[in-house]
Amino acid sequence: MGICKICGKQTTSHTVGKYFICHTCWENRKDEVEKLRKDVREEFEKPLREIENSEEGGIRLIGLIQKFALKFDEEIKKSLKEYGKKIEDENEFTVFLNWFAFERNMDGGATPAELFMDEYEMPEWVRERIKEFRRPVKGFFEIKEILPDDRFKLRNMFDDREYVLFGKIKLNEGDFIGDVIYPWENVHLTGGAISLYTREEAEKIMGLIREYERLSEETQKLQQGIYSDFTDYFGRWDPGFPSVEEAKKALEEFTAWWGQEERESPPERTYEGDAALACHPSGGMYVIPGYGRFVGILDGKEEWDGDYMKKSFIDIPSPVLKKLSEDKEKFSEMAGKAFGRDVSPDKIDEFMEEMRPNWKKQENE
């Protein structure tokens, strides 16, 4: 419930930006509604036109997108439940808000940052910077060196890669920081939030990381064995079924067979249908509706449907798409066609990273 910006009555009918408009004004005072709409657009487009190509400009740009993202109240409430982390202070909320703005797809399939680009006019270089924000670096970083002009050399403890961070913040060599940093030309930005850890906390976290890596290695070996048994059982890595229910039933039957000490010979049958049960050598098993049609179009055996293919490229689990993308020529051609872009085979990973942030990191999705 809010107050109509035009007449002052309470309403929940319509919104323009952060302002409520009652239905009566929406229908009968269209000129005033349109003026308000232009004013709201100018609230964002004026700073977008004036923003400078500098680190300070990057910080301001992130702030504008955060402000835009905050208007999606209902989506924020839903995503807070999905987030999986308890938010206890302003810093943690900013980290969440950045994730919501740049990485979380809403009901229509787009992130708030993508909707921001659709909604407002802006210089093309600003649009390209926003696309880069959708590929943040997540990690746990050690401050290796204090550099001039508010810059810091960081080392990501997860993979030993080094980055230069810009920020008007007080950090010392040997400090440890966490969360996410965002690319901006040759440096990275904090996105307005950063977590600082003591050396004792850092050592504890690194111990957990090493234990996680050990368990992950064991899990990967187990998954490789499951993949081998899966292909022996079904005769392929992505068998098809007439329905999702039958695919789920087949998964239960395979799981029961796999757990036997003395396994019987796999059943002989033909696997066909639009639903699939797919097994990736490192990413796990997935029941995927509509997979048969997607692969049929991908192979040129079914009539082209651009909307269906675009949605499938977004929705199908990344590990499954990665396996299909081993035929880079065909995959890049169809992905480019679905999104109306010219995609070369040697750039398919970069393209998919643009369409699905963290594509390169989702091998174990």
Question: Averaged over 327-335, what is the pLDDT?
Answer: 93
Q: Distance (Å, rounded) from C-alpha 89 to C-alpha 71?
A: 20
For residue range 44-97, list pLDDT tens digits in order.
889 899 999 999 999 999 999 999 999 888 899 999 988 878 888 888 899 899
Q: Facing residues of 143 across strands?
A: 154
The answer to pTM > 0.75 is no
Question: Averaged over 258-274, what is the pLDDT?
Answer: 88
Higher pLDDT, residue 358 or 265: 265
Phi, psi of 193 (to 5 degrees): -150, 145
- Hey, what are 154's tokens? 């960081």
Give whole-number Cα distances, 280 to 241, 269, 357, in Å.
17, 21, 20
Does residue 365 have a pLDDT over 60? no
* Res. 355 pLDDT band, cuts 50 70 90: confident
Question: Is 123 within 8 Å of 134 (Cβ atoms)?
Answer: no
CA 178 to chain centre: 19
C-alpha dihedral sign at 123, 353, 361, 83: positive
Question: Averaged over 132-142, what is the pLDDT?
Answer: 88
What is the pLDDT, as a whole number, of residue 301?
94
* Res. 364 pLDDT band, cuts 50 70 90: very low
Q: What is the DSSP letter of 118?
A: H
Exposure string (b/e) for 93-126, b if CB count within 10 Å is 16 or more? ebbbbbbbbbbbebeeeebbbbbbbeebebeeeb
